[in-house]
Amino acid sequence: MSCKSKVAPSVDFDHSCSDSVEYLTLNFGPFETVHRWRRLPPCDEFVGARRSKHTVVAYRDAIYVFGGDNGKNMLNDLLRFDVKDCSWCRAFTTGTPPAPRYHHSAVVYGSSMFVFGGYTGDIYSNSNLKNKNDLFEYKFATGQWTEWKVEGRLNDMWTISLQDREQAYWEEIEQSGEIPPSCCNFPVAVCRDKMFVFSGQSGAKITNNLFQFEFKGHIWTRIPTEHLLRGSPPPPQRRYGHTMVAFDRHLYVFGGAADNTLPNELHCYDVDSQTWEVIQPSTDSEMPSGRLFHAAAVIHDAMYIFGGTVDNNVRSGEMYRFQFSCYPKCTLHEDYGKLWENRQFCDVEFILGEREEKVLGHIAIVTARCKWLRKKILQARDRQKQKSKLECNEESEESGSGSQKDSSGKSSRGPPLLEVSIREADAQPFEVLMQFLYTDKIQYPRRGHVQDVLLIMDVYKLALSFKLSRLEQLCVQYIEASVDLQNVLSVCENANKLQLDQLKEHCLNFVVKESHFNQVIMTKEFELLSTPLIVEIVRRKQQPPPRVYSDQPVDIGTSLVQDMKAYLEGAGHEFCDIILLLDGHPRPAHKAILAARSSQLLPQFFDSYFEAMFRSFMPEDGQVNISIGEMVPSTQAFESMLRYIYYGDVNMPPEDSLYPSYCFIFSIL
């Protein structure tokens, strides 16, 4: 087999053989373990010095390192690292290179590298440092250095066209939105047609804010963290001297100096879900130590990190490679969300409140996510079985009675929906709760609007009753962020009525703030408050209670992924409604989950096989045979596929990843 550095195989047709036969050749490997750090050969001193504050860029299959300092002097040499041969050399250069410098920047455009700015001078004397704004081009094909003579100054945000040197000039960008503060020692990366800036030094202040810049509208936005659950992975610590690169829909942040430490965790930000996580390296990883002022670049599906300052102010000449995950985006939450929106294959009907409004759902999802509703469903199922048993006994006693059947003798109706009565819930907040069960999030209404805040308070009440800790936090965070001078009294009164003590406490503290109190008590709404609540507000203002600090860990509950993992591993066994047969061995499963997720495996060929099968017909015994053509997949590969379907797991051996990529063909017994 030929060696191609790809996670998935390439496909070639050999047309040189007989016209009657098409030969399919699959080129595999070599496979690299996902999330594996690997230490590559370091740069020898006779090739180039160890360094920090340099730049690296990727061009074709090579990493180019320029400038920096070795702890004594600034540098202006250009090094080349071949990622295929893992070899170092000095890059060929002609012409006059930029003066020795550090803290500059470099990008690749077309077949050239452009180096801009930085500091020149003596690294031991800040008074002798000169801040440069010159621009140099290095042509990879010829090795030629050329300085671009450009008129203009540098301040705020500027752009320059790299297409025509004769027409090049600096132009200031008119920015709007939440513009980041002026800062230094920060990285930038471009992902999804937006530029992202994370952390850095702003004078003596260091932050961990993440900003995005839209190139089309020139608008800055600070990425909020209010939606992140307490206890869930927070953004990385504030830092400077770190790196950030983009790959697919993710930003990867490594290293830097964070509060007098040099952390070596790799943080990952998902641009789509706006969530952070710490990447767990593979068990066979060769981890780099913490460092700052290193540099990073991406080639194909891997990140390369070179140099930097490590412990005791020592410069490094090490090169490390990190293998990204190349699996396609897992649409687990979106797929279950579509199942909820479409209401296909529903097998349970919730009858809600005094009006007996009806909401459809899927037993598999609901019982996986909520123990309280699981108990309700089990009770309703027992009642249904008892009722069916009584009806069967009555039918056997009465001749001529029974369900109408078609010509084949089968019942003309499918199994009836399981009816579950929940008198303590109204339809609107219950539907918001159901949306959370399917997607792990809720579609927030208009922030601050009184009726919408009151709706989420009703959802919060249900979350408390149903013991859904994760939903509780989402509701509390939304409500607390929505409380303002116009709605605080309505929210406080409703919290008092619903006995939501945490929200009531938040509202009382909001009202008695020095900047809020006079404005609130002069409103008409304050006059209409109940007397006990007015008394409580006045007393709170006169004698605020002492603040209570708790170091108890916050229970954030279980996520959709955790619940579906437990469901597959046994928690959902009693709710299985289909049997998958693998070489004669039964594997219980759940139709709704398979229907929701099966199109993710290979939509262009598969076209949601399970979904079409469940809509049109099902084998009478509820059993489906599993095969790949005439070949039966291994148990290990089949279990890998089920883990991907149920909870989006992509941690599988490379050989198993072929199965979810190329799908199974299911034939019915």
The residue among 112 and 209 whose pLDDT is bigger is 112
Residue 667's pLDDT band (cuts 50, 70, 90): very low
pLDDT at 474 over 90: no
Pairing of strands 578-582, 623-627: parallel
Q: What is the pLDDT of residue 154?
A: 42
What is the rounded average pLDDT of the residues 622-641? 73
pLDDT at 406 over 50: no
pLDDT at 407 over 60: no
Residue 250's pLDDT band (cuts 50, 70, 90): very high
pTM over the 0.85 mark? no
pLDDT at 596 over 60: yes
Domain extents in the chain: 178-225+239-273, 332-387+417-542
Tell me the C-alpha distance between 303 and 321, whole Å. 6
Of 75-84, 487-496, 581-590, give the range with the top mean pLDDT. 75-84
The string of pLDDT tens digits covering residues 1-13 is 333 333 444 444 4
The residue among 490 and 13 whose pLDDT is bigger is 490
Q: What percent of the chain stands above pLDDT 90?
A: 39
Q: Position of tokens 């084998």?
A: 619
Tell me the C-alpha distance between 470 and 440, whole Å. 8
Q: What is the pLDDT of residue 315?
A: 94
Q: State which amino acid sits at residue 206.
A: I
What is the rounded average pLDDT of the residues 91-115? 91
Q: Position of tokens 């909401």?
A: 359
Q: Which CATH code fits 332-387+417-542?
A: 3.30.710.10
Residue 606's pLDDT band (cuts 50, 70, 90): very low
Length of the chain: 669
pLDDT at 608 over 50: no
Tell me the C-alpha distance between 544 and 395, whole Å. 71
Q: What is the pLDDT of residue 590?
A: 93
The string of pLDDT tens digits covering residues 178-204 is 777 666 667 888 888 888 888 766 666
Averaged pLDDT score across all residues of the chain: 81
Residue 86's pLDDT band (cuts 50, 70, 90): very high
Cα angle: 660, vertex 434, 467; to 5 degrees: 105
The residue among 25 and 566 whose pLDDT is bigger is 566
pLDDT at 615 over 90: no
CB 140 within 8 A of CB 112: yes
The residue among 655 and 368 whose pLDDT is bigger is 368
What is the rounded average pLDDT of the residues 570-575? 94
What is the rounded average pLDDT of the residues 295-304? 94
Closest CA to 459 of 414, 425, 497: 425
Closest CA to 51 of 228, 346, 308, 255: 308
Q: What percent of the chain stands above pLDDT 70?
A: 77
